[in-house]
Amino acid sequence: MIGAHLRLPVGSVDLTSHDTRATPGFDGGKSEGKEALTDLDSTLSDLQERLFAEGQRGGSRAVLLVLQGMDTSGKGGVVRHTVGLVDPQGVDITAFKAPTEEERGHDFLWRIRKALPTPGRIGVFDRSHYEDVLIAKVRDLADADEIERRYEAINEFEADVVASGTHILKCMLHVSPDAQKERLLERLERPDKHWKFNPGDIDERQVWPAYREAYEVALERTNTEIAPWHVVPADRKWYRNLAIGLLLRDTLAQMRPTWPDADFDVEEQRARLTDEAPVA
Amino acid sequence: MIGAHLRLPVGSVDLTSHDTRATPGFDGGKSEGKEALTDLDSTLSDLQERLFAEGQRGGSRAVLLVLQGMDTSGKGGVVRHTVGLVDPQGVDITAFKAPTEEERGHDFLWRIRKALPTPGRIGVFDRSHYEDVLIAKVRDLADADEIERRYEAINEFEADVVASGTHILKCMLHVSPDAQKERLLERLERPDKHWKFNPGDIDERQVWPAYREAYEVALERTNTEIAPWHVVPADRKWYRNLAIGLLLRDTLAQMRPTWPDADFDVEEQRARLTDEAPVA
């Protein structure tokens, strides 16, 4: 279980003590890691299809994968390479940007609630309600009391979500400033990557310690038993993709989704087909 | 261009003249077909990413893939195996079921409009507004005048969609009643497929000729120059998946999406990174 290696212990958080280049719980290197991800495909697909089937036949369970991390930490890469392994029909991906005017007129959880996965589905949040205690804190988009209130509001919200049958898997993609620099320079180097670059990314980078602190507080305050955090070393892309794949597999496997029983008489339906008059 | 083989000629339509087991435009067999689909991956992914990038940077173009076909014709299989090749972040899949009470309170195109892809995205309709001239006609869910009105309404609607920058690729997955029977029996045979089976599927099967006729009229009336129909033989799953992949590739390639130009000064941004003070 990769979770044993990545699950954040309860208590105060020091991100500098988490090695961004480590590969906890996996012995191999890059090629073995990529192969292990490919090998996950059928298991993940099978589990996802069972969950989907369950949702189609009255089940209420779902999965929510929350991806947080600094720019270039690879949230998009995880969606493409890991989430992309399963049937896209069963997945809902929401990329949260700066809130719109309408969204700002509501509580910060309003737009989040609307994006929750429906039964049988895997919801993926590329950024999430955590931005409201991360950039909101670093950039003073809300005052200190409001930020303080939000940690509790998030815990209550997530408790409700879990109680409704949705398993929450929270992952912080932990990238180093050096790896980020390299990736930002690559985006500048390659014309096919220019569209991914925003000068604002460098502005945020320049307050890295403030973000680290905001992450540390947010992780500590919202690292609950029902929705714990995982810190995923993200300097090695292959490990990051594999680790999330394994966490997702373990989450689904733990749910033990089973094929729903037929709600019709199989023999009767078979007879309708085998005894039918020619149809065309 | 596979389209030359699959594009439905303008004029009256006789579906019995389209062989459901044929593999037009492709010489190989099953293994070559599967390999050809795998080989499409990088081309499709590259084109999709360019379109997505364009949309992120102010472009207005999008693609809408409309999948229609009888039960078991493989709409879901196409989404999984073909659409599943590209980054799920750029794809919006909508499976249209029987309209809800709210949806029935609006014009039939109301729910369709809401599901149109936004710029840069590939929208996929698993069933669509065509149900409103197919099952609606076969099952008398609307009177003849209303059905008549809908053909024109669809053409006007699609003309608007195309004018807004969305390329429409309409595919009818053409399956034989024999192949359907086999697939329905398989769903009954396998407990892991029971959830896909509905006794209602057999009810619809029993009025196959009425559906064929409704399809023929719908295809004829909405086979416009700006949004033509393709009839895809669907008895062979590998061909069906490959053919839609090739049609999608050709649609995207024709659009020639290009990487957006940087809207910032690349050198200036590079200097900000290379000259920066240590960030952590």
ipTM value: 0.95
Q: Rounded to an integer, what distance in angstroms lies between the CA atom of residue A6 and that of residue A15? A: 13
Q: Is residue A32 a part of any domain in this protein? A: yes
Which residues of chain A does B272 touch, with a Cβ-Cβ cutoff of 8 Å? 199, 202
DSSP-based three-state secondary structure for A122: strand
Q: What is the pLDDT of residue A179?
A: 98
Amino acid, single-letter form, for residue A27: D
| Average pLDDT, integer, range A225-245 | 98
The CATH number of residue B200's host domain is 3.40.50.300
In which domain, by residue range, is A179 found? 3-274
| Distance (Å, whole) CA B32 – CA B150 | 41
CA distance B85 to chain A (A): 8
Pairing of strands B122-126, B166-174: unpaired
Chain B contact set for A191 (CB, 8 A):
259, 262
Quote the pLDDT of residue A233.
Answer: 98
pLDDT band per the 50, 70, 90 thresholds, residue A240? very high
Q: What is the interface size between A and B, counted as CB pairs within 8 Å?
A: 127
| The two structure tokens encoding residue A233 | 């070393």
Which residues are CB-neighbours of B212 under 8 A, at least 6 positions away? A280, B15, B16
User: Nearest residue on chain A to B85, judged by CA atoms?
Assistant: A84
pLDDT in tens, A157-185: 999 999 999 999 999 999 999 999 999 99
In a domain, A115, yes or no: yes
Beta strands B91-95 and B62-69 are unpaired
pLDDT over 80 at A140, yes or no: yes
- Report if residue A218 sits inside a domain: yes
Sheet holding B229-233, edge to edge: B91-95, B122-126, B62-69, B166-174, B229-233
Q: Which residues of chain A does B276 touch, with a Cβ-Cβ cutoff of 8 Å? A: 202, 205-206
Q: Which residues of A touch B183 (CB under 8 A)?
A: none
- Is the per-residue pLDDT at B280 higher than 80? no
| Subunit contact B88:A76, Cβ cutoff 8 A | no
Look at residue A279 and tell me if it is in a domain. no
Does residue A144 sit within a domain? yes
pLDDT score for A102: 97
A154 vs A214: CA distance, rounded Å: 15
Q: With an 8 Å Cβ cutoff, are A269 and B84 in contact? A: no
Q: In Å, what is the CA distance from A210 to each residue of A137, A227, B261?
A: 9, 24, 32
Both structure tokens of B254: 């024709």
Chain B residue closest to A50 (CA)? Answer: B192
Average pLDDT, chain B: 97
Assigned domain for B279 exists: no
- Closest approach of A189 to chain B, Cα-based (Å): 8
Which of helix, strand or coil describes residue B94? strand
| Number of separate domains in chain B | 1
Predicted local confidence at residue A279, as pLDDT: 87
pLDDT at A229 over 80: yes
Residue A279 and residue B89: Cβ atoms within 8 Å?
no
pLDDT tens-digit map of A74-92: 999 999 999 999 999 999 9
